[in-house]
Amino acid sequence: MLPQIHVVPGLPLAVWRAHTHLVTDHRRIMILMFAGALVVAGLFTLLPGRIMHHVVFGT
């Protein structure tokens, strides 16, 4: 649910910034959204009981 809190308001804002030719703001929002999604997905793969948790931290 956390990524949705970030994406739902962020995506329309990013589209609006691109539409109004504020490319720098659009780029910043999209990079933060992409990086945030990678971090959240990465953290979920490291939850206890998951395969990557055992690979990284051992059993």
pTM (global) more than 0.75? no
Give the phi and the psi of residue 37 in degrees, each rounded to 5. Answer: -65, -40
**In which band, very low, low, confident or very high, does the pLDDT at 9 lie, cut at 50, 70 and 90?**
confident
Q: What average pLDDT does the structure give for the chain?
A: 89
* pLDDT, mean of residues 24-30: 95
- Percentage above 70 pLDDT, the chain: 95
| Euclidean distance between CA atoms 29 and 33, whole angstroms | 6
**In which band, very low, low, confident or very high, does the pLDDT at 6 lie, cut at 50, 70 and 90?**
confident
| Euclidean distance between CA atoms 13 and 2, whole angstroms | 18
- Percentage above 90 pLDDT, the chain: 56
